[in-house]
Chains A and B, each alone.
Chain A
Amino acid sequence: MDTTQFTGEHLWPGQLGHFFVIVSFVAALLSTFSYIRAAIVEQDLEQSRIWKRLARGSFMVHAVSVVSIFIALFYIITNHLFEYHYAYEHSSYDMPSEYLLSCFWEGQQGSFMLWTFWHAVLGLIVMRTAKHFETRTMSVIAFVQVILTTMILGIYLGPDIKIGSTPFMLLRNAMQNAPIFAMPDYMDFIKDGNGLNVLLQNYWMVIHPPILFLGFALTLIPFAYCIAALWKGDYKSFIKPTLAWSLAGGAVLGTGIMMGGAWAYESLNFGGFWAWDPVENASLVPWITLIAGLHTLLVYRRTKRAFTVTMIFLLLTHLLIWYSTFLTRTGILGKTSVHAFTGDGTALTYHLLIVIGVLMVISKIAILYRWKQLPRIKTEEATLSREFWMFIGAVILFLAAVQISVTTSIPVWAPLAKWITGKDFAPPTDPVSHYNNIQVWVAIIIGLLSATIMYMKYKNSDGKTLAKRLGGTALVALIMAALIACGQDITTWQYDLMLFAACYGIVANTYYGISIQKLKFKKLGPSVAHLGFAAVLLGILLSAYNKHAISLNTTGVPFNFQKETQQETIKENMENVIMFLGVPVAMGNYFATYIGDSAVEGKDKRIYYRVLFEQKDTTTGEVTDRFMLYPDAFINPKGQQGLSANPSTRHYWNYDVFTYISSATDKSKSDTSSYKSHIVNQPGDSIYLDNGFMIFNGFSREIDDPRYTPKEGDLAVKAKLSVYNMEGKQNEIGPIYILRDKQYIMQVDDTVKSMGLYTRFGALNVHSKDSASLDIQVRQTNPMDDFIVLKALIFPYINVLWIGIMIMVFGFFISLGDLITTKSKAPEA
């Protein structure tokens, strides 16, 4: 053992934190055991009550401990205790305080803690609301909490086997071999932490993870209810709570996923809101299966059909959350994902595999145990029944999830495939087309089904009414789709079909909500959610199909069905354009000019680049639209070379202009220009510049320049200069010459930033009483030295997508509200 006495460390927050980790683990374990006992001895009311009381108490202790771990870690981060590895790695002094929370969930352990926290909160709600399901659902929830707390346990069994990793690890233990830790006063040398990845210094990073993890956590509750229902053999009363929790999960997880999309769109330069990146797919897949399970559960509620498949979908959803954790945390996606996720070594890989295995076995046992007595219905459903088509829709959703998973999981199954075929499989070279070409069919079918089933009734529907309504809807949708297709120039037939499906969904659900449901708010949930879904499809189609780079003015072709040649694919990447300071560049309908940059003083080391966009009327040449964009970048962040950029977007109601910097000059190195003298003799004399000219207008003794404070005995003169650029725009500047106490010469320079012009009052030579010559020194930054490389994209109608998502989520909440407020008179067939 190391016996060095270290100074300057604060050990108690970590020790306290670690203590609470262990308490939360033990309490969850005790709670699980007691809940299971309470469920087993259910018949013996007295016994069961005692066990239940113990279980509740220990779960509450667990919940309090989880919160305490949070507080301990938060204390360490906010107080910049860099002796802790977590604080050192994820925070720094110069970090704006609002991001202190973000660095909490930047790391592996912090995000596990966030997840644990949500489970604990939801567990407390379930404890109060589950009634006769409490013992069983809570057994499952507490058990999952046991598993989750092992993730942050950080206990070594022997030298090689580690269970979890603690967020309270000391820096000197994390990097034992570094020589600095041989010094007892090493803390005196650690001045600052690594800080948050600059890409993550963004408000989305503050809100996206908590919402997403709440969505993850919400899938646990339907999982717990399904296990509980199977365990208890009660296939009826679990329906309502499961439905409610699934609706909440669908809404929150959906919001979380799309927040990720919005984040990628607004502040990461992924060039869009969805890239079919493995990490995005990993959270989309469980959402899809959750939605499938939600719909089959509705079928089961009304018709007693589709019980087994509901169980499978809902159990699978939570398993897929764990699988997505496995994909994103272990580094297995390594070379296939854009996300900068890191692996925590093989320990985590095995840990997660074991967890998935255990949960899968529990699910299987629960289903197989009851297999013979699961509710089944012998008769066939009618072809025109709602349940029949809902079931088909759910299966198609499930198959879509399978397809996405198969491609996303390439790194998982590639070693096996290599062993069999000898080929080293890699993801598709054009993943966006790969997914789009398949998923467009899912979008078409689900779009059509989600609208059509609204017109159908459970059990059976009247064929004539149905045909009349469907026909009318299809006609209106067809006209709408045709107009949009012509207007937006959507020519690929598959996408015309998708456009039709989206229009059909919008028309059908609007009509259904207004004239069939008579706008009865409480019942509007499904039609609103489906309307939102259709709008999402429309928004995706419009914005992605006609997304194009104006920085090169070539149409992007991610939706192309024809196999393109490599040259065409490469063209797509040539979306960068170089912009020299002050030189307008034609971009689409705009002229864009880079007119300078501004570094923000203080903590934040980012540089904002000002790019002026002007739209001119082609005949009159008048400027019809003008706006400024400020894409920013961190130049050489954290001693790295190059830059890290954030986009800037101009939003219009019908399209977005999206720009970001791909490259920029480092001013500290590139400016090589120097001052040159120009002599002027009388007012009216001019000096020619690289990008304009300058006229000397005489002297002035009246000086009101904030940079100059007059002093007794000063002789101060200002040279009045008018600067004209190429377009004839005028700027007035006045460099100042000061003779102080008759001996010191001081000069105050003046500049025109947009022209890269620096002027200095060099010297005043008096020849005679009324003739003097003035030396004006001019420095012009070489315009070729100051440039940015910009990418600019147009996303048409992207607002339709965002509004669609909001409508859809709103629909979920209407349904949820209806479900909670309606006393269980729901027609259970």
Chain B
Amino acid sequence: MKKTQIVLLVLIMAAIAVLISVFGDFSSYETFASAAKEPKKSYYIIGTLDTTREMQYDPKTDANHFTFFATDKAGSLKKVIFNGEKPRDIEKSEQIVMMGFMDGETFHCSKIQMKCPSKYKKDMVAVGNNG
């Protein structure tokens, strides 16, 4: 075999090894119930905001604390604590993707992505970064 081919082979094998080893980085979409099985581990949960319940955001006491209730795809309702400012227009969102982990009965979330229906277009709005 030629030297180039050997090097190529080694590189490709290394690349495959890297890809497999970072596979664990990939997260998954879960429900509150399935995320609760592994508390403290971060997942994405797709759900909807429960507008009938109280949302709390008081920047005077804590600018990084926003709580609300959300229903996941399986229909279970949980309290969500978001570490950040209240995302604009969250009341109008038709779907929210939350990233975070379950701790007891509450979901601690560090990133929220919303899908908002505006009259004629559908926009995605994301909040939270460095996540």
> Across the interface, do B85 and A576 meet the contact criterion of CB distance under 8 Å?
yes
> Across the interface, do B28 and A424 meet the contact criterion of CB distance under 8 Å?
yes
Number of interface residues of A (CB under 8 A): 68
CB-CB < 8 A to A726: which residues of B?
Answer: none
Which of these binds chain B: A428-436, A485-493, A497-505, A811-819? A428-436
With A341-B124, A395-B8, A574-B83: A643-B88 Cβ-Cβ less than 8 Å: yes
Taken together as a complex, chains A and B put the C-alpha atoms of A576 and B129 apart, in Å, by 12
CB-CB < 8 A to B108: which residues of A?
Answer: 566, 570
> Across the interface, do A335 and B59 meet the contact criterion of CB distance under 8 Å?
no
> Across the interface, do B59 and A787 meet the contact criterion of CB distance under 8 Å?
yes
Those of B6-36 within 8 Å (CB) of chain A: 7-8, 11-12, 15, 18-19, 22, 25-30
- Whether, in the assembled complex, B44 has its beta carbon less than 8 Å from a beta carbon of chain A, the answer is yes
Interchain CB contact (< 8 A) of B26 among A334, A426, A662, A784: A426
> Across the interface, do B128 and A573 meet the contact criterion of CB distance under 8 Å?
yes
Per-position 1/0 for A392-428, Cβ under 8 A of B: 1001100100110011001000000000000111111
CB distance from B65 to the nearest CB of A (A): 9
> Across the interface, do A566 and B101 meet the contact criterion of CB distance under 8 Å?
yes
> Across the interface, do B28 and A423 meet the contact criterion of CB distance under 8 Å?
yes
CB-CB < 8 A to B125: which residues of A?
Answer: 340
Which of these binds chain B: A151-159, A380-388, A506-514? A380-388
Those of B103-131 within 8 Å (CB) of chain A: 108, 110-111, 113, 115, 120-126, 128-131
> Across the interface, do A399 and B11 meet the contact criterion of CB distance under 8 Å?
yes
CB-CB < 8 A to A271: which residues of B?
Answer: 129-130
CB distance from B121 to the nearest CB of A (A): 6
Interchain CB contact (< 8 A) of B64 among A338, A395, A425, A574: A574
CB nearest neighbor in B for A430:
B131
Those of A534-578 within 8 Å (CB) of chain B: 556, 558, 565-566, 569-570, 572-578
CB-based A-B contact count at 8 angstroms? 166
CB-CB < 8 A to A429: which residues of B?
Answer: 27, 42-44, 99, 131
- Whether, in the assembled complex, A275 has its beta carbon less than 8 Å from a beta carbon of chain B, the answer is yes
- Whether, in the assembled complex, B53 has its beta carbon less than 8 Å from a beta carbon of chain A, the answer is no
- Whether, in the assembled complex, A438 has its beta carbon less than 8 Å from a beta carbon of chain B, the answer is yes
CB-CB < 8 A to B64: which residues of A?
Answer: 573-576
CB nearest neighbor in B for A570:
B83
- Whether, in the assembled complex, A461 has its beta carbon less than 8 Å from a beta carbon of chain B, the answer is no
Taken together as a complex, chains A and B put the C-alpha atoms of A314 and B64 apart, in Å, by 48
CB-CB < 8 A to B3: which residues of A?
Answer: 380-381, 383, 388
> Across the interface, do A426 and B27 meet the contact criterion of CB distance under 8 Å?
yes
CB distance from A353 to the nearest CB of B (A): 21
With A399-B12, A576-B64: A640-B89 Cβ-Cβ less than 8 Å: yes
CB-CB < 8 A to B110: which residues of A?
Answer: 566, 569-570, 572-573
Additional A-B contact list (9), CB under 8 Å, known A275-B129, A432-B131, A662-B63: A338-B113, A340-B124, A342-B123, A399-B15, A426-B29, A434-B25, A576-B59, A642-B86, A787-B60
Residues of A at under 8 Å CB distance from B? 89, 175, 194, 197, 269-272, 275, 334-335, 337-343, 380-381, 383, 388, 391-392, 395-396, 399, 402-403, 406-407, 410, 423-432, 434, 437-438, 556, 558, 565-566, 569-570, 572-578, 640-644, 662-663, 784, 787, 789
Residues of B at under 8 Å CB distance from A? 2-4, 7-8, 11-12, 15, 18-19, 22, 25-30, 40-44, 46, 59-60, 63-64, 83-89, 91-92, 97, 99-101, 108, 110-111, 113, 115, 120-126, 128-131
Q: List 6 A-B contacts (CB under 8 A).
A: A270-B129, A342-B122, A407-B25, A428-B26, A566-B42, A576-B84
